[in-house]
Amino acid sequence: MISLPVTRRLVVIQRVLVRHGLDDYVRATHLYRPLRFLFYLSPWTWFARSQGTTRGERLRLALEELGPIFIKFGQALSTRRDLLPRDIADELAKLQDRVPPFSGAAARAQVERALGKPVTELFGSFDEAPLAAASIAQVHAATLADGREVVVKVLRPGMREAIGRDLEVLHALAGLAARYWPESKRLRPAEVVAEYEKTVLDELDLMREAGNASQLRRNFAGSPMLHVPEVHWDLCRRDVMVIERIRGVPISEIGRLRELGTDIRKLAENGVTIFFTQVFRHNFFHADMHPGNIFVDVSDPANPKYVAVDFGIVGALEPRDQYYLAANFLAFFDRDWRRIAELHLESGWIPPHARLSELTAAVRTVCEPIFNKPLGEISFGMVLLRLFEVARRFEMPVQPQLILLQKTLLNIEGLGRQLYPELDLMKTARPVLREWMSRRVGPEAFAEGLREHWPDLAESLKMLPVVLQRAVRRAYEDDFRLRTESSSVDALRRELAEAQRRRNALLAGAALFLGGVLWLALLAQPEWLGWALAAGGGSWMLSCLR
């Protein structure tokens, strides 16, 4: 049952869409079916219309009026110029940094309330006119007492209440989908909304965003490709964040970047490298990389450097999903369709009753025609869309933990293609993925894991002699009790001798294994000797236990 507040919000959404001449969307939205009578009875359907504007402008104005969740939806869409008409993409791009601001006086009051002091005591200067306004917050230029330039990010007043209301609407729509939409079992709308709720609520906590910025700054310390501004922690609170002010050209101003002599190809390729580095090497990625959040430092046009802002949304993957995702990408690059099918089954993304041969054929049907295009025209977005079509046939449920990554990948691809239409994502991404895979499954990865878990392993190894002694004694006593019931004294002696021999061999194997482990842990040279001792000792112990 839909609550009264949710019903009111649905009516508001319907009214806004109709008022801006977007009633076709209302009629096409099947989730509104239980409330469709409201559309036909509403006076806005027949009288209240927005006149004299383009369809793209009407859509942008409607999203702005509906609030932050809808604005973010438009921001994500704006980067997909390969999927949208140009007029709509141009209008939605204005949502990146041209959201109407709230008053500077309200921002000042919010800062003073959060930090507990007058702005004149906190800063050398504070500009009430905002530098930029976004859907969740806006930023103001300021200087510290020592003259350093900073920006002050201030959460929009009433934002938590507005977000909470729209999240309730999304949950209600997910419930309607589960009830009326046959595809809901596979697409799992309730879980998708729950995952999005976590993301957007995290974005409302500016202390969390400050932590994200600091982590990303550490990850790319000294990098020639990405600069992350410094956080001033003593001036950060849940509703206010103060960070270093950056200078750069907005990534959307491609014409200006060309005028300044920027190496556009290198810039586009670096963007892809940064994304895959964040996802696989660091497992911590900026997940809101739309053009309004990215600037370019062109002090050295031949080596342009990205400057990122707005760290409210970040993502990370479980190691298992990381591995399967990287392996899927590499198999796609190598046109190994059977490997993609195997990975989908191994990961659990496809139900186990699916036949490997049928899944392989389906993947081949989707992916093979894509490689007939020039490499620069291959769209990961189109690959994902086509694979989703295949997934429906094999009952693949939506993976909520991958949605944020998919959205970020689509943003990166859209941005890269805007900069450099001939961008070859495979050429750029393949070296990063291959290096990550070799480090994950090779000897270095094993040694790193051994060093990481060495304290726990050392404690366990201390107990190994006691455990082995008890095991041998138990085996000896069992053998003794068994053989004393036998009338053959010679057989008993042979068994005792064999038990003694096995015990000595087991202890010798354990000593070799422990010596090899210590050799590797201490990084002694040559390294191969440690591996040989550990492998030989382990094999010896296994042979004794058979």
Q: What is the mean pLDDT of residues 112-124?
A: 94
Residue 172 scores a pLDDT above 60: yes
CA distance 138 to 152: 8
199, 422, 475 from 404: Cα distances, Å: 9, 26, 55
Q: Which of 32-36, 91-95, 147-151, 185-189 has the highest mean pLDDT?
A: 147-151
Residue 472 scores a pLDDT above 90: no
Q: What is the mean pLDDT of residues 34-58?
A: 59
CA distance 97 to 89: 14
Residue 498 scores a pLDDT above 50: yes
CA distance 36 to 498: 84
Residue 36 scores a pLDDT above 70: no
Residue 278 scores a pLDDT above 80: yes
CA atoms within 13 A on the CB side of 497: 6
Q: Which of 93-107, 211-225, 330-344, 387-401 has the highest mean pLDDT?
A: 211-225
Domain spans of the chain? 4-93, 159-200, 251-440, 446-545
3-state helix, strand, coil in the chain (%, to 5): 65, 10, 25
Q: How confident is the model at residue 482, as a pLDDT?
A: 46
pLDDT above 90: percentage of residues in the chain: 24
Residue 307 scores a pLDDT above 90: yes
Residue positions annotated with a catalytic role: 288
pLDDT for 436-462, tens place per residue? 887 776 566 556 656 665 566 666 666
DSSP-based three-state secondary structure for 304: coil
pLDDT band at residue 108, thresholds of 50, 70 and 90? very high
Report pTM: 0.68
pLDDT above 70: percentage of residues in the chain: 65
Instruction: Indicate the average pLDDT of the chain.
Output: 77
Q: How confident is the model at residue 244, as a pLDDT?
A: 96
